[in-house]
Amino acid sequence: MVRTGAPFGYLILAIVFFLAFAVSCVALYRALKARPVGKVKALLSSVPIVFIALVVLANAGADELEWNPALPGEQALLGSWNDGVSELALRKNGRYACAGNACGALAGAGKWQRFGDFEVDFVPVAGAPVRWRITEHAGRYEFVAGAEGDPDAWQTEVTFGKEALVTRPR
């Protein structure tokens, strides 16, 4: 994904990509219209077009991630969450049980509670408390570790997920 913190950074990137795309298209057109056909020129002028198309496609999926999903209530969090073969079960009584390699810092069992609108605190029986953010992606709720403090400094990792009860409108 393309990320920038510069003022007007995305606008500048869009202009640069558009200009590179336009110049490459003109060069490709001229190379294909030339007699004899300039195969090397055509190939070289198509490289930026392919690169820009790949960048656009890679960033298209980034918009599907919702960092602030509309949760219909605590009920949406209850039940089984999966990360591969690992399973995290959130119970109504505020307890959780986790089994599998992905449990890591959750240490098997403990207590959980909502923190604000989009985060959950886990307090393992043995170990330090853990806070994970709730996101929604492709019709699934997902816990994301490492989403604390300044969003520009996040080093996130998607962990457990489950089907969303309510998906956001498209």
Q: Is the pLDDT of residue 99 over 90?
A: yes
Tell whether pTM > 0.75.
no
Per-residue pLDDT of 44-76, as tens digits, reads 888 888 988 888 887 776 667 788 888 888 888
What is the 3 state secondary structure string of the chain?
CCCCCCCCHHHHHHHHHHHHHHHHHHHHHHHHHCCCCCHHHHHHHHHHHHHHHHHHHHHHHHHHCECCCCCCCHHHCCEEEEECCEEEEECCCCEEEEECHHHHHHCCEEEEEEECCCEEEEEECCCCCEEEEEEEECCEEEEEECCCCCHHHCCCEEEEEEECCCCCCC
Higher pLDDT among residues 145 and 64, named by residue: 145
Query: Which pLDDT score is estimated for 61?
Result: 64
